[in-house]
Amino acid sequence: MACEVESAYIQPTDTRPDPTIQVAQGIPVIDLSPLDSGDKSQVNQLVEEVKAALKEWRMFFVVNHGIPADIRQNADEKIAQFFALPLEEKLKVQRDFKDTLGYFNKELTHNTKDWVEVYDYFVNSPVELPANAEADCPKMVTLANKRPENPLGFVEACDAYGKEAERLGFRLLEVIALSLGLPSKRFQAYFENSGSFNRVNHYPPCPSPSLVLGKGCHTDASALTVLATDNVSGLEIKRKDGKWLKVNPLPGAYIINTGEAMNVFSNGYYESLEHRVVANTNQHRYSMGFSFGPASHVMVKPLKELVNELNPPKFKGFMWGKFYRSRRNSNFLRLNAENLEARHFKINQ
Ligand SMILES: [Fe+2]
């Protein structure tokens, strides 16, 4: 990472960080332990809490989430060791345009470089994906994780954490299904053996944090994201009224937010969260975002139980693998187009 801010990192004036924004107060903290107790009234209460949190905030903290602390701690340690390696070592597992997995330090959001280095890996590697994002692309390719040799134990630590994040994702999908009045396993088949990936982020200290973003404003393509952060602040969220707020980490908790796929599946009932990450002058920040999406072949469209004459579908369907491909391409290239989002599939009513 350069020690000076190159022009490619500098945000347009209207998207630069605002140092005056406030810390969010009252983000719901949701305890998942009722899922283990099996107590029906407690589960019903949990379902209502999740519904209220997603409607109001599009996100919440989750505690008693079931991810073992030692698995998380081991992943955190190995990740810090990986990013501390010399650049040439990390570049041995570099991502490229055809193969979107591995290490990358030239990530773009809305055509501006993010002040971050990342390592992406599938939780169920290998994964079959469309060769490109063209609507009529019949060719599929198989992508597998790039496995760095160093540090020792990195791959195993990442795999173990990824499985736990996915397990939490399935539990949350059950609660969300219930909150939509659906059977708890309604989403299960769509998400089995998916191409969901975990993104490991390192935001290095930045000499000019007022000019750059660690990650530009975006919505996640996923149905939901399980975000693990260290104790360094950086995440900011956009409320429905357009106001930005900082999210301070809650030690031991994970941050859950909804993305584009859930927006479409729920026919707009659960909207996706706009968010960004700011940089800072003197602290390294590490995070992991498990992006839980359906399998490549799944047609993402409003669930049939949620639409009727009075509430017609708000979105056209799209094949998940192609949507995913398009979003990933925009991380590499300066495209003359906006990020693909659910609104691009909106049906005019
Ligand atoms: Fe995100």
Confidence of residue 133 (pLDDT cuts 50, 70, 90): low
Confidence of residue 323 (pLDDT cuts 50, 70, 90): confident
pLDDT in the model for residue 153: 97
Does 76 map to a domain? yes
pTM of the model: 0.93
- Ligand 1 centroid to Cα of residue 291, in Å, is 8
Domains in the chain, number:
1
Domain hosting 154: range is 7-345
- Ligand 1 centroid to Cα of residue 310, in Å, is 33
- Ligand 1 centroid to Cα of residue 239, in Å, is 15
- Ligand 1 centroid to Cα of residue 290, in Å, is 9
CB atoms inside a 10 Å sphere around CB 67: 19
Average pLDDT over residues 334-345: 62
- Ligand 1 centroid to Cα of residue 275, in Å, is 6
Confidence of residue 349 (pLDDT cuts 50, 70, 90): low
DSSP labels, 276-336: EE---SS--EEEEEEEE---TT-EE---GGG--SSS--SB--EEHHHHHHHHHHTTTS--S
- Ligand 1 centroid to Cα of residue 37, in Å, is 32
Does 130 map to a domain? yes
- Ligand 1 centroid to Cα of residue 309, in Å, is 34
121 touches 101 (CB < 8 A):
yes
* Domain CATH number, residue 324: 2.60.120.330
What are 142's two structure tokens? Answer: 């198989």
- Ligand 1 centroid to Cα of residue 218, in Å, is 6
Confidence of residue 336 (pLDDT cuts 50, 70, 90): very low
- Ligand 1 centroid to Cα of residue 40, in Å, is 33
Q: Would you call 94 helix, strand, or coil by DSSP?
A: strand
Q: Tens of pLDDT along 260-292?
A: 999 999 999 999 999 999 999 999 999 999 999
Does 92 map to a domain? yes
Rounded-to-integer distance, Cα 167 and Cα 32, Å = 13
Does 2 map to a domain? no
What are 67's two structure tokens? Answer: 């991810």
**Residue whose tokens read 């030690």:** 251
Average pLDDT over residues 28-54: 96
Does 30 map to a domain? yes
- Ligand 1 centroid to Cα of residue 235, in Å, is 9
Does 1 map to a domain? no
- Ligand 1 centroid to Cα of residue 224, in Å, is 10
pLDDT in the model for residue 332: 45
